[in-house]
Structure 1
Amino acid sequence: MSDLEAEWTEEAIQRITTGNTTLKQRVRQLTADNRTLDERLKAARSNLRFQDRRVADLEARIAAPGSAT
């Protein structure tokens, strides 16, 4: 064992290893959450674009009621 390793107790190494594992799991979860939120945002933007086109169409029909299809 090197001098550096001798300074660490087995308990400290285990605690750090456990903490590291926990942090890696948290990063994976946050990455998955971020991907889900990104997909929801893209869907919301798509819906908004559709609604904007629909509103514009309805406004055009109101402005020119004689040309309704």
Structure 2
Amino acid sequence: MAESGDRRSGILVEQDDEREATWRERALNAEDALKAAHAEILTQRTRIGELLGQIRDLEAEWTEEAIQRITTENTALKQRVRQLTADNRTFDERLKAARSNLLFQDRRVADLEAQLEPPSR
């Protein structure tokens, strides 16, 4: 019975050792994953800081007055584009009318020249 108890104790000790090894391995894996996560978080925070700095730098270049001036110029340019587009349309219509008149005048001149020529005998 004593041997059986010793054997049973030995088996329990081995099982405990195996369980402890499994938990130890899991704990080490968890520590490695935690270190990797902390490193990634630090990298991301650094990148976010850099990007926020770039945004601040870009915003600093544009004063409120400069933004207002550019907005006003942009509006004026858009109005100028609309005006030029309308003028272009008007000139295109005038060009078509002038070509039509020229064609009519060419036909009229040809008719008058035909009337001036003496009839062939």
TM-score by length of 2: 0.51
Per the alignment, in what secondary structure is the counterpart of residue 64 of structure 1? coil
Matched, 1:15 2:62: no
Q: Is the helix fraction higher in 1 or 2?
A: 2
Deviations 1:40-67 (A, max 9, x none): 010011001001000000101101358x
Picking from 58, 64, 67, the partner of 2:118 is 64
Q: Say which structure, 1 or 2, has more relative contact order (CA 8 Å, 6+ apart).
A: 1
- Kindly report the root-mean-square deviation, in angstroms, between the aligned alpha carbons of the 2 structures: 1.6
The alpha-carbon deviation at position 37 of structure 1 amounts to 0.6
Where in structure 1 are there 5+ consecutive unaligned residues? none
Identity %: 83
Pairs aligned (count): 66
- Letter aligned with residue 58 of structure 1: L
Deviations 1:2-56 (A, max 9, x none): 2212211000000001001100100100010010011001001100100100000
- Letter aligned with residue 28 of structure 1: R
1:1-69 equivalences under 5 Å are: 2=55, 3-64=57-118
